[in-house]
Structure 1
């Protein structure tokens, strides 16, 4: 009887010891924050998540969207780095994290970029928004419009700064989408990865503000290159971080952590997990020429077929998975052709599973040949024969 009881206890102990391994097999570590996510920058693939669609206050991580719209405006020529931005009473009145811009003073667009990226300055964010869209309200509307374009389904911005508002919400997944979009703008990388700098503020520009990046990973995590911290009492400690090693870049998001120390440690944990286990594989670059194709009834008889966007896959480092590329092109291509017109696609497969698809397009406009052009071509062919 004693032996039987002993065996039952032994079986229970073995079962209990096995269960956690089974339950947490897909979660190799614990994350303190309310929500977390790890995303591959190039492919957008998510490889770790915890409550990633839970709507939470994002605090100053909000300013990633400010930086996206500012970067777009800069690239389109709507604003310039040397533009002088007149500081309004509204911008100067922002509380919280700031660089103490003075109403009636002026700062350049580049100085505002630095203040937002390093100090997470609320006054600089509002000044930037007013300069680009004419008013804080107009810029806020543009922020929410861009969020919809990026399919940030859990996000609603109520201000430009991330200052507390119960209706100002986002999610770890949406923030990763937003961070991924920002990193596509190379112009902003130099400020995101900058550790220290300084700017002058005040009506007479006689006050020096020394700026130190609030994202401590920039200095203390190898390869760190972004993105944005956030903190309020309601939101807790938040961080959207990015890092690059070799050709692989990951974006990690932590929301609602208990302290900056824990937030930073968990961000490192996520990034370490990504770099230890996965690598990005480049299949094709945007603009790669795949082939040439004949164009029926066109002024030009052939055109290049190019890849519309980069094709990247995320693979496990110890995986022996083999990828197969299939190219599908329309049987007949007739003029007129508009540059960028889809005429086929590349399909990347592993065995029978489709991993990625990307459009193949024509690289230029091709007008339809008129009667004279067609007659000229006919004569040229006859002479050639």
Structure 2
């Protein structure tokens, strides 16, 4: 009789433990959807140009392109890299805006568009940066190249190193100005990539690209980007022209929180490059939108973790997730979380836990690592033993 009572008591204890464990098992969300309404998108405009591209500056998504990876003469669009290198060195503390730059005879004699600096003079770097961006000064570009690297040829090596670092695969520089050379070329895609870095990497200098006029030595010169006068949403970036390159324009505009970058190469005139750019921009802003899906550090799930000091692990993304999608199609946007069935402690903040997959109408747009948003240390011996029992029981009932 005593043995029978003990047996009944043991069975009751097992049942209680099972019920307790089942109550602790987590429920994991695996998908998320955002309501919205779909819209139809027409074919992109065809431009009277050799090459063009439209890119979302936030996401890097290419919305429209035509021969965008073809290497072409970039003319003064080259100066985007010249200016970017200066901004890069300023950010590293190797240069200062008040640095006095000596003007060599070589810089003074450089032909083409000019800032009108004088041989033997010294000019503050800040003035030269404005002269490069606004007045498209070849003389200013050579003076800066010599100041930074000792010679223009050495500066071109730095330009190519930066181009490689930024993933500009169809670009090669031999000078700081864009004066014609058969070995000097760039693609629309590469120039858009560079422009995106100019905007996002060093925003403290970007305002220069929107300035309409620059005066040096009482000589006033207007920015050749006519869109700065036509539409207040435009705030950059650079024009270019040679006989070989035609009329080129890299532009950026921001409307309702969305920033686009356009590159148009090889048009027939100043008016044509502006008009073709406006076609691209109008299409992009009308038919696409940029959405912030998740903020950096946002928790997306809290799955069960075994053998840890706590029973749940905060999981999310360590970067802000922005997506470019057809305007009004967010009802077809969804996100799914993929994680292992079992997660064991210890886990350190930043450890990859799984994958966030973002899809639009069953097409995968982006895959992002899911990471631990916190540390979970290994639990005590008793805690680990209890978790072993809970896992065994949970597995028994699966």
Q: Does 1:311 align with 2:321?
A: yes
Q: 2:133 aligns with which of 103, 112, 117?
A: 117
Q: What is the TM-score normalised by the length of structure 2?
A: 0.75
Unaligned runs of 5+ in 2: 1-40, 384-398
Equivalent position to 1:219, from 220, 226, 229 = 229
**What is the aligned partner in structure 2 of residue 192 from structure 1?**
209
State whether residues 71 and 187 of structure 1, in contact with CA within 8 Å, keep that contact through their aligned partners in structure 2: no
Which stretch of structure 1 is more off in the superposition, 122-131 or 257-266? 122-131
Structure 1 distance, partners of 2:158, 2:344, is 42
Aligned pair partner of 2:255 in 228, 233, 245: 245
Partner of 2:283: 273
- Using a 3 Å threshold, how does the CA distance of structure 1 residues 344 and 209 change in structure 2: closer, same or farther? farther
TM-score when normalising by structure 1: 0.77
Change (3 A) 1:134 1:36: same
Cα 1:156–1:322 change in 2 (3 A) is: same
CA distance in structure 1 between the aligned counterparts of 2:151 and 2:350, rounded to whole angstroms? 36
Does residue 262 of structure 1 match 2:272? Answer: yes
In the TM superposition, 1:51-90 aligns within 5 A as 51-90=67-106
Q: Which of residues 125, 134, 143 is equivalent to 2:159? A: 143
Looking at structure 2, the residues matched to 302 and 149 of structure 1 have their Cα atoms a distance apart, in angstroms, of 40
2:15 alignment partner in structure 1? none
Q: Secondary structure at the match of 1:167?
A: coil
Aligned to 1:128: 144
Shift of 1:271: 0.5
SS at match of 2:147: helix
Q: Distance in 1 between matches of 2:158 and 2:303?
A: 41
Shift of 1:310: 3.2
**Is the CA contact 1:35–1:52 (under 8 Å) kept in the aligned structure 2?**
yes
Question: What is the distance in 1 between the residues matched to 2:307 and 2:89?
Answer: 41
Secondary structure at 1:119 match in 2: coil
What are the ranges of 5 or more consecutive residues in structure 1 without an aligned counterpart?
Answer: 1-24, 200-206
Question: Distance in 2 between the 1:134 and 1:328 partners?
Answer: 53
Aligned to 1:237, what secondary structure does the other structure show?
Answer: strand
SS of residue matched to 2:336: strand
Aligned match for 1:349, one of 359, 363, 379? 359
Aligned 8 A contact 1:306 1:362 in 2: yes
8 A contact 2:334–2:358 mirrored in 1: yes
Distance 1:340 1:217, change over 3 A: farther
User: Separation in 1 of the partners of 2:158 and 2:246?
Assistant: 26
CA distance in 1, matches of 2:263, 2:147: 29
SS across alignment from 2:218: strand
More relative contact order in 1 or in 2 (CA 8 Å, sep 6+)? 2
Maintained 8 Å contact 2:307/2:345: no
Structure 1 residue 249: deviation in Å? Answer: 1.0
Query: Alpha carbons of 1:357 and 1:126: their partners in 2 closer, same or farther (altered >3 Å)?
Result: farther
Report SS of the residue matched to 2:134.
helix
Residue 296 of structure 1: CA displacement?
Answer: 10
Structure number with larger C-alpha Rg = 2
> Per-residue displacement from partner, 1:137-170 (whole Å, max 9, x unpaired)?
2221121112122222211111111101122111
Preserved CA contact (<8 Å) 2:135 2:214: no
Shift of 1:51: 1.8
Q: Name the SS of the counterpart of 1:157 in structure 2.
A: coil
Q: Which moved more, 1:285-294 or 1:157-166?
A: 285-294
Does structure 1 retain, via aligned residues, the 8 Å contact 2:44–2:64? no
Deviates more, 1:267-276 or 1:25-34: 25-34
What is the CA RMSD across the aligned residues, in angstroms? 3.3
Structure 1 distance, partners of 2:79, 2:152, is 13
1:358 and 2:368 correspond: yes
Shift in Å, 1:306: 6.5
- Between the aligned partners of 2:314 and 2:120, the Cα distance in structure 1 is 55
| Cα separation, partners in 2 of 1:280 and 1:168, compared to 1, 3 Å | same
Distance apart, 1:357 and its partner CA: 2.5
1:378 positional shift: 6.6
